Protein backbone atom coordinates (compact mmCIF):
# COMPACT_ATOMS: atom_id res chain seq x y z
CA UNK A 1 0.00 0.00 0.00
CA UNK A 2 1.21 3.48 -0.90
CA UNK A 3 0.80 6.43 1.47
CA UNK A 4 -1.39 9.25 0.17
CA UNK A 5 -1.22 11.45 3.26
CA UNK A 6 0.56 11.32 6.62
CA UNK A 7 -1.66 12.36 9.56
CA UNK A 8 1.05 11.84 12.19
CA UNK A 9 3.60 9.23 13.24
CA UNK A 10 0.90 6.65 13.94
CA UNK A 11 -1.75 7.30 11.28
CA UNK A 12 -1.59 7.52 7.49
CA UNK A 13 -4.09 7.59 4.65
CA UNK A 14 -3.83 5.28 1.66
CA UNK A 15 -5.89 5.05 -1.51
CA UNK A 16 -7.40 1.59 -1.80
CA UNK A 17 -10.94 1.46 -3.18
CA UNK A 18 -11.45 4.83 -1.54
CA UNK A 19 -9.69 6.63 1.29
CA UNK A 20 -8.50 4.27 3.96
CA UNK A 21 -7.00 5.20 7.33
CA UNK A 22 -4.22 2.88 8.50
CA UNK A 23 -3.00 2.93 12.08
CA UNK A 24 0.08 1.47 13.72
CA UNK A 25 2.79 2.57 16.11
CA UNK A 26 5.34 4.57 14.09
CA UNK A 27 3.73 3.70 10.77
CA UNK A 28 3.98 7.31 9.57
CA UNK A 29 7.34 8.14 11.18
CA UNK A 30 9.59 9.92 8.64
CA UNK A 31 7.19 8.89 5.86
CA UNK A 32 6.00 10.99 2.93
CA UNK A 33 3.21 10.66 0.36
CA UNK A 34 4.28 8.07 -2.19
CA UNK A 35 6.19 5.94 0.30
CA UNK A 36 5.21 2.31 0.86
CA UNK A 37 3.69 1.20 4.17
CA UNK A 38 5.51 -1.27 6.38
CA UNK A 39 2.63 -3.73 6.56
CA UNK A 40 4.07 -5.46 9.63
CA UNK A 41 3.27 -2.28 11.60
CA UNK A 42 -0.42 -2.19 10.68
CA UNK A 43 -2.66 -2.56 13.74
CA UNK A 44 -5.99 -1.48 12.22
CA UNK A 45 -7.38 0.06 9.05
CA UNK A 46 -10.84 1.29 8.12
CA UNK A 47 -12.66 3.21 5.41
CA UNK A 48 -14.46 6.52 5.81
CA UNK A 49 -16.90 7.22 3.01
CA UNK A 50 -17.94 10.70 4.11
CA UNK A 51 -15.58 13.62 3.65
CA UNK A 52 -16.86 15.49 6.70
CA UNK A 53 -16.38 12.44 8.92
CA UNK A 54 -12.91 11.89 7.56
CA UNK A 55 -11.73 15.47 7.97
CA UNK A 56 -13.03 15.56 11.56
CA UNK A 57 -11.33 12.27 12.34
CA UNK A 58 -7.99 13.56 11.05
CA UNK A 59 -8.05 16.41 13.57
CA UNK A 60 -9.04 14.04 16.39
CA UNK A 61 -6.28 11.56 15.57
CA UNK A 62 -3.76 14.39 15.73
CA UNK A 63 -4.80 15.16 19.32
CA UNK A 64 -5.57 11.74 20.82
CA UNK A 65 -2.71 9.59 22.20
CA UNK A 66 -2.15 6.47 20.13
CA UNK A 67 -2.70 4.20 23.15
CA UNK A 68 -6.25 5.57 23.58
CA UNK A 69 -7.09 5.10 19.90
CA UNK A 70 -5.62 1.59 19.93
CA UNK A 71 -7.63 0.59 23.02
CA UNK A 72 -10.91 1.95 21.62
CA UNK A 73 -10.34 0.42 18.18
CA UNK A 74 -9.61 -2.97 19.73
CA UNK A 75 -12.83 -2.67 21.74
CA UNK A 76 -14.87 -1.77 18.63
CA UNK A 77 -13.41 -4.72 16.72
CA UNK A 78 -14.04 -7.23 19.53
CA UNK A 79 -17.59 -5.95 20.06
CA UNK A 80 -18.38 -6.20 16.35
CA UNK A 81 -16.97 -9.74 16.17
CA UNK A 82 -18.67 -10.91 19.35
CA UNK A 83 -22.09 -9.51 18.51
CA UNK A 84 -21.81 -10.24 14.76
CA UNK A 85 -22.88 -6.69 13.98
CA UNK A 86 -21.87 -4.25 11.29
CA UNK A 87 -21.30 -0.90 12.96
CA UNK A 88 -21.76 2.53 11.43
CA UNK A 89 -18.39 4.00 10.47
CA UNK A 90 -19.03 7.09 12.60
CA UNK A 91 -18.33 5.14 15.81
CA UNK A 92 -14.61 5.40 15.05
CA UNK A 93 -14.99 9.15 15.28
CA UNK A 94 -17.55 9.47 18.06
CA UNK A 95 -16.26 6.90 20.54
CA UNK A 96 -12.58 7.85 20.23
CA UNK A 97 -13.52 11.51 20.68
CA UNK A 98 -15.78 10.74 23.65
CA UNK A 99 -13.23 8.56 25.48
CA UNK A 100 -10.44 11.08 24.94
CA UNK A 101 -12.69 13.85 26.31
CA UNK A 102 -13.72 11.68 29.28
CA UNK A 103 -10.08 11.06 30.20
CA UNK A 104 -9.30 14.78 29.92
CA UNK A 105 -12.31 15.63 32.11
CA UNK A 106 -11.18 13.08 34.70
CA UNK A 107 -7.71 14.66 34.81
CA UNK A 108 -9.42 17.99 35.51
CA UNK A 109 -11.63 16.55 38.27
CA UNK A 110 -14.83 16.77 36.19
CA UNK A 111 -17.56 14.19 35.70
CA UNK A 112 -20.68 14.47 33.53
CA UNK A 113 -23.62 12.57 35.09
CA UNK A 114 -25.44 10.32 32.63
CA UNK A 115 -29.12 11.21 32.92
CA UNK A 116 -30.00 8.07 30.90
CA UNK A 117 -27.94 5.61 32.97
CA UNK A 118 -30.92 3.95 34.67
CA UNK A 119 -32.72 3.51 31.34
CA UNK A 120 -29.56 2.30 29.58
CA UNK A 121 -29.20 -0.48 32.17
CA UNK A 122 -32.85 -1.49 31.61
CA UNK A 123 -33.11 -1.22 27.84
CA UNK A 124 -29.56 -1.94 26.65
CA UNK A 125 -28.07 -4.38 29.21
CA UNK A 126 -25.70 -6.10 26.74
CA UNK A 127 -24.32 -2.80 25.45
CA UNK A 128 -23.99 -1.51 29.01
CA UNK A 129 -22.07 -4.63 30.04
CA UNK A 130 -19.69 -4.10 27.10
CA UNK A 131 -19.36 -0.44 28.09
CA UNK A 132 -18.31 -1.49 31.58
CA UNK A 133 -15.64 -3.76 30.08
CA UNK A 134 -14.15 -0.85 28.12
CA UNK A 135 -14.26 1.45 31.16
CA UNK A 136 -12.54 -1.21 33.31
CA UNK A 137 -9.82 -1.62 30.68
CA UNK A 138 -9.30 2.14 30.42
CA UNK A 139 -9.14 2.46 34.21
CA UNK A 140 -6.59 -0.35 34.42
CA UNK A 141 -4.47 0.80 31.50
CA UNK A 142 -4.37 4.51 32.30
CA UNK A 143 -4.67 4.24 36.11
CA UNK A 144 -7.83 6.35 36.27
CA UNK A 145 -11.31 5.87 37.75
CA UNK A 146 -13.95 6.56 35.13
CA UNK A 147 -17.43 5.97 36.54
CA UNK A 148 -20.43 3.88 35.49
CA UNK A 149 -21.76 7.02 33.83
CA UNK A 150 -19.12 6.54 31.14
CA UNK A 151 -20.11 2.89 30.67
CA UNK A 152 -23.61 4.16 29.97
CA UNK A 153 -22.33 6.65 27.42
CA UNK A 154 -20.31 3.92 25.68
CA UNK A 155 -23.47 1.78 25.52
CA UNK A 156 -25.36 4.62 23.82
CA UNK A 157 -22.56 4.97 21.25
CA UNK A 158 -22.85 1.24 20.51
CA UNK A 159 -26.63 1.42 20.16
CA UNK A 160 -26.31 4.37 17.78
CA UNK A 161 -23.66 2.58 15.71
CA UNK A 162 -25.97 -0.42 15.25
CA UNK A 163 -28.91 1.63 14.01
CA UNK A 164 -29.86 1.31 10.36
CA UNK A 165 -30.25 5.04 9.92
CA UNK A 166 -27.35 7.21 11.10
CA UNK A 167 -29.71 10.14 11.66
CA UNK A 168 -31.42 8.21 14.44
CA UNK A 169 -31.30 9.85 17.84
CA UNK A 170 -30.63 7.18 20.46
CA UNK A 171 -31.68 9.62 23.18
CA UNK A 172 -35.01 10.27 21.46
CA UNK A 173 -35.60 6.54 20.98
CA UNK A 174 -34.63 5.72 24.57
CA UNK A 175 -36.94 8.41 25.91
CA UNK A 176 -39.82 7.03 23.81
CA UNK A 177 -39.21 3.46 24.97
CA UNK A 178 -39.21 4.76 28.54
CA UNK A 179 -42.55 6.52 27.95
CA UNK A 180 -44.09 3.33 26.51
CA UNK A 181 -42.86 1.08 29.32
CA UNK A 182 -44.04 3.58 31.93
CA UNK A 183 -47.44 3.69 30.23
CA UNK A 184 -47.70 -0.13 30.32
CA UNK A 185 -46.51 -0.25 33.94
CA UNK A 186 -49.13 2.30 35.03
CA UNK A 187 -51.89 0.69 32.97
CA UNK A 188 -51.43 -2.72 34.62
CA UNK A 189 -50.13 -1.47 37.98
CA UNK A 190 -47.15 -3.84 37.84
CA UNK A 191 -43.36 -3.78 37.80
CA UNK A 192 -41.49 -5.57 35.02
CA UNK A 193 -39.27 -8.57 35.67
CA UNK A 194 -36.30 -7.18 33.75
CA UNK A 195 -34.58 -10.60 33.78
CA UNK A 196 -37.41 -12.41 32.01
CA UNK A 197 -37.21 -13.59 28.41
CA UNK A 198 -40.51 -11.97 27.48
CA UNK A 199 -39.34 -8.60 28.85
CA UNK A 200 -36.22 -8.70 26.69
CA UNK A 201 -38.30 -9.69 23.66
CA UNK A 202 -40.68 -6.83 24.35
CA UNK A 203 -37.88 -4.26 24.75
CA UNK A 204 -36.12 -5.54 21.62
CA UNK A 205 -39.35 -5.17 19.66
CA UNK A 206 -39.88 -1.65 21.05
CA UNK A 207 -36.37 -0.63 19.93
CA UNK A 208 -37.09 -1.53 16.31
CA UNK A 209 -40.65 -0.24 16.48
CA UNK A 210 -39.60 3.18 17.78
CA UNK A 211 -36.68 3.37 15.35
CA UNK A 212 -39.11 2.77 12.46
CA UNK A 213 -41.43 5.43 13.84
CA UNK A 214 -38.62 7.97 14.37
CA UNK A 215 -37.15 7.46 10.91
CA UNK A 216 -39.54 7.74 7.95
CA UNK A 217 -36.77 6.54 5.61
CA UNK A 218 -36.72 3.09 7.18
CA UNK A 219 -38.91 0.39 5.66
CA UNK A 220 -42.20 0.11 7.50
CA UNK A 221 -44.09 -3.07 8.22
CA UNK A 222 -46.56 -3.77 5.44
CA UNK A 223 -50.28 -3.08 5.50
CA UNK A 224 -51.37 -6.41 4.01
CA UNK A 225 -55.06 -7.30 3.87
CA UNK A 226 -54.56 -10.66 5.64
CA UNK A 227 -52.74 -8.87 8.47
CA UNK A 228 -55.79 -6.66 9.00
CA UNK A 229 -57.93 -9.79 9.36
CA UNK A 230 -55.42 -11.40 11.72
CA UNK A 231 -55.23 -8.26 13.84
CA UNK A 232 -59.02 -8.18 14.21
CA UNK A 233 -59.00 -11.78 15.49
CA UNK A 234 -56.53 -10.80 18.22
CA UNK A 235 -58.67 -7.97 19.63
CA UNK A 236 -61.31 -10.15 21.34
CA UNK A 237 -58.65 -12.59 22.57
CA UNK A 238 -56.57 -9.89 24.26
CA UNK A 239 -58.94 -6.99 24.96
CA UNK A 240 -56.86 -5.51 27.80
CA UNK A 241 -53.64 -5.67 25.81
CA UNK A 242 -55.40 -4.17 22.79
CA UNK A 243 -56.73 -1.32 24.94
CA UNK A 244 -53.22 -0.68 26.27
CA UNK A 245 -51.79 -0.73 22.75
CA UNK A 246 -54.34 1.89 21.70
CA UNK A 247 -52.92 4.16 24.39
CA UNK A 248 -49.44 3.51 23.02
CA UNK A 249 -50.69 4.34 19.53
CA UNK A 250 -52.20 7.59 20.78
CA UNK A 251 -48.92 8.49 22.50
CA UNK A 252 -46.90 7.80 19.34
CA UNK A 253 -49.28 9.51 16.94
CA UNK A 254 -49.46 12.57 19.19
CA UNK A 255 -45.71 12.74 19.68
CA UNK A 256 -44.59 11.98 16.13
CA UNK A 257 -47.62 12.93 14.04
CA UNK A 258 -47.44 9.60 12.25
CA UNK A 259 -49.72 6.64 11.58
CA UNK A 260 -49.17 3.35 13.44
CA UNK A 261 -50.14 0.49 11.12
CA UNK A 262 -52.34 -2.44 12.12
CA UNK A 263 -49.36 -4.76 11.70
CA UNK A 264 -47.35 -2.70 14.19
CA UNK A 265 -50.34 -2.79 16.55
CA UNK A 266 -50.68 -6.56 16.08
CA UNK A 267 -47.08 -7.28 17.10
CA UNK A 268 -47.26 -4.83 20.01
CA UNK A 269 -50.38 -6.62 21.26
CA UNK A 270 -48.79 -10.08 20.95
CA UNK A 271 -45.59 -9.06 22.75
CA UNK A 272 -47.58 -7.31 25.45
CA UNK A 273 -49.79 -10.38 25.93
CA UNK A 274 -46.75 -12.58 26.39
CA UNK A 275 -45.11 -10.40 29.00
CA UNK A 276 -48.34 -9.91 30.96
CA UNK A 277 -49.13 -13.63 30.95
CA UNK A 278 -45.63 -14.39 32.21
CA UNK A 279 -45.94 -11.78 34.95
CA UNK A 280 -49.25 -13.34 36.00
CA UNK A 281 -47.52 -16.73 36.25
CA UNK A 282 -49.41 -18.21 33.32
CA UNK A 283 -47.11 -19.58 30.62
CA UNK A 284 -49.95 -20.83 28.40
CA UNK A 285 -49.96 -18.69 25.26
CA UNK A 286 -52.99 -18.33 23.07
CA UNK A 287 -50.87 -17.51 20.03
| CB of 287 closer than 8 Å to CB of 234 | yes
User: Average pLDDT in the 185-190 region?
Assistant: 92
CA dist 131 → 110, 117, 136, 211, 231 (Å): 20, 12, 9, 22, 39
Strands of 30-109, DSSP E: 44-47
% pLDDT > 70, the chain: 88
Return the pLDDT at 251. Answer: 95
Task: Go through the domains of the chain in sequence order and give each one's CATH number.
Answer: 1-47 (2.30.24.10), 49-162 (1.10.1790.10), 172-279 (1.10.1790.10)
First vs last C-alpha separation in the chain: 57
Return the pLDDT at 56. Answer: 66
User: Average pLDDT in the 98-121 region?
Assistant: 93
Tell which residue, 206, 204, 201, has the closest CA to residue 182: 206
CA distance 169 to 160: 7
User: DSSP readout, 119-172?
Assistant: HHHHH-HHHHHHHHHHHHHHHHHHT----HHHHHHHHHHHHHHH-SSTT--HHH
**pTM of the predicted protein model:** 0.73
State whether the Cα torsion 16-20-24-26 is positive or negative: positive
CA distance 62 to 69: 11
Amino acid sequence: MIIQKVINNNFVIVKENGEKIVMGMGIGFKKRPGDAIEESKIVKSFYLSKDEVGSHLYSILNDVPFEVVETVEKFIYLYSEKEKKTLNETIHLSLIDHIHSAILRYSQGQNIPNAFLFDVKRFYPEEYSCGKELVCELNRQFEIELSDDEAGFVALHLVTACMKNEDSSVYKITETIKSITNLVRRYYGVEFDTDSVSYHRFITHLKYFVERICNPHLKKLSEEANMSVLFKTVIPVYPDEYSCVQRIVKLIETKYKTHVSEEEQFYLTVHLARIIKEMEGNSDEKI
